[in-house]
Amino acid sequence: MRIAAVELLRVRLPLVRPFRTSFDLELDRDALLVRVRTEGGVDGWGECVAPTWPGYSSEYVDACVPLIRDHLLPRVWTVTDAVAAKAAMGPVRGHPMSKAAVETAVLDAQLREEGRPLAAYLGAVRDRVDCGVSVGIPTEDEADPMGSLLAEVGEYVDAGYRRIKLKIQPGWDLDPVARVRERWPAMPLQVDANAAYRRDDLPHLAQLDAYDLLLVEQPLPEDDLIGHARLAQLMRTPVCLDESVVSVAGADTAITLGAAGVINIKPGRVGGYLESIAIHDLCRSAGVPVWCGGMLETGIGRAANLALAALPGFTLPGDTSASDRYYARDITEAFVLHDGRIDVPTGPGIGVEPVGIDALVDWREEHLAP
């Protein structure tokens, strides 16, 4: 495989409902896509999951564009596969979401030329994956926040999702969790704080043990591994890390310290699917369950995440929800929930193609190989 051109495209998709977390309120998805075109005329696609502003991490989409254009593309023009692309981008410090987008586009192009599905390349063992869904915090203008929450959860339960995740923050935690657990006592349930709490809140967080949760995700800041380890000693509920884990070494440190009983693997957060495999393998050898998180991906990113979530160590339902959870119209053929599961794409590469994408593109620029 030889790269002939790379195109950067931005598309904006409205969400079917606002999605509020402890750090942001999102009304649409401003997605940066990377298309790698080979000399053989094959297109490979990657999606940069960086949000509009640096709230989840230091990366944001406006900064990813020049980073990819000026620092990553010059390093990958001569690579012939994704392993070489990952190594070539290595000297650029940080910026995992930008690197993941480029690596994925290269990998998709490589596998399409080889006629191999991404799932087979990664080592998938399932052709369908169990799906959970993430439920945001009601917006501040809701007249009946609790009623809105219960109605939304009810929709997803009726749709067949196999796990519910509630976003929480200080002032919106014990009561909504108690109400959801009371209404659905047998539904697998977990919570996600997106680093909204501090060490002084550990006794308060330990009260979540009363609700039979699968896990409590990233309650403390990403750099506070000791705080997470102390919380793990206070709680029966497993502590799961998300933002804290950005590499294999980081995952190993968190596990060794007792800060992570579960790890959420997001390819964008860790720099791509190759690093995701390595973290999966480390966790599996350590007996630590993993699951695949979501970043409001379009069908491009969702397809690749489904392939990853089919690996053997992904024993908990992920956030690989159906397309209609977020979008009235996706940029690929819609992913549909069947009995709480979604089929893993079987075509070459990520197994999906953009549909009618030109009508959705806000901005694009093409770069030719030197």
Mind telling me the catalytic residues?
A: 167, 266
Count of residues making up the chain: 370
CB-side neighbour CA atoms (13 Å) of 9: 20
* CA–CA dist 225, 205 (Å, integer): 16
Q: Is the dihedral of CA 67, 69, 74, 80 positive or negative?
A: positive
Q: What residues contact 119, with CB distance under 8 A and at least 6 apart?
A: 127, 306, 307, 310, 344, 345, 346, 351
* CA–CA dist 349, 120 (Å, integer): 9
Residue with the two structure tokens 């480390």: 282
What is the greatest pairwise CA distance in the chain? 62
Closest CA to 279 of 245, 232, 241: 245
Strand pairing category for 341-343 and 3-20? unpaired
Residue 138: phi and psi, rounded to 5, are -55, 145
Q: What residues contact 195, with CB distance under 8 A and at least 6 apart?
A: 22, 23, 218, 219, 220, 221, 222, 243
Q: What region does 348 belong to: left with phi over 0, alpha with psi -120 to 50, or beta?
A: beta
Residue with the two structure tokens 């790890």: 263
CB crowding 141-178: b at 16 or more within 10 Å, else e: eeeeeeeebbebbeebbeeebbbbbbbbbeebbeebbe
